[in-house]
Amino acid sequence: MNRFSDRSLLGALMSRFPRDGRVDWLGVRPARDAPVVPRDAVEAIAEKGLVGDRYAGGSGKRGVTLLQAEHIPVIAQLAGLDAIDPSVFRRNVVVSGIPLIALKGRRFRIGDVLLEGTGPCDPCSKMEVALGEGGYNAMRGHGGLCARIVEGGTIRLGDAVMAVD
Q: CA 130, CA 100: separation in Å to the nearest integer?
A: 23
Q: Is the pLDDT of residue 4 over 60?
A: no
Cβ count near 156 (within 10 Å): 16
pLDDT value of position 77: 97
Q: Is the pLDDT of residue 134 over 90?
A: yes
- Backbone φ and ψ of 103, nearest 5°: -95, -5
Q: CA 102, CA 116: separation in Å to the nearest integer?
A: 11
Q: Is the pLDDT of residue 107 over 70?
A: yes
Three-state DSSP state, 41:
strand
Q: CA 132, CA 154: separation in Å to the nearest integer?
A: 34
Dump pLDDT digits (tens) for 6-40.
668 877 777 787 789 999 999 999 998 899 999 99
| Predicted structure pTM score | 0.90
What value does the mean pLDDT take over residues 70-74?
A: 97
Domains and CATH numbers, the chain: 19-164 (2.40.33.20)
Q: Is the pLDDT of residue 73 over 70?
A: yes
What value does the mean pLDDT take over residues 64-78?
A: 97
CB–CB of 110/160 below 8 Å?
Answer: yes
What value does the mean pLDDT take over residues 116-123?
A: 95
Three-state DSSP state, 19:
coil
pLDDT value of position 91: 96
Please choose, from the candidates 37, 40, 111, 99, the residue with its C-alpha nearest in 3D space to the C-alpha of residue 66: 99
Helices within the chain (DSSP H only) = 3-14, 72-79, 126-131, 135-139
Residue 69 carries which side chain, given as an amino acid letter? A
pLDDT value of position 60: 74
Q: Is the pLDDT of residue 133 over 70?
A: yes
pLDDT value of position 56: 84
Q: Is the pLDDT of residue 1 over 80?
A: no
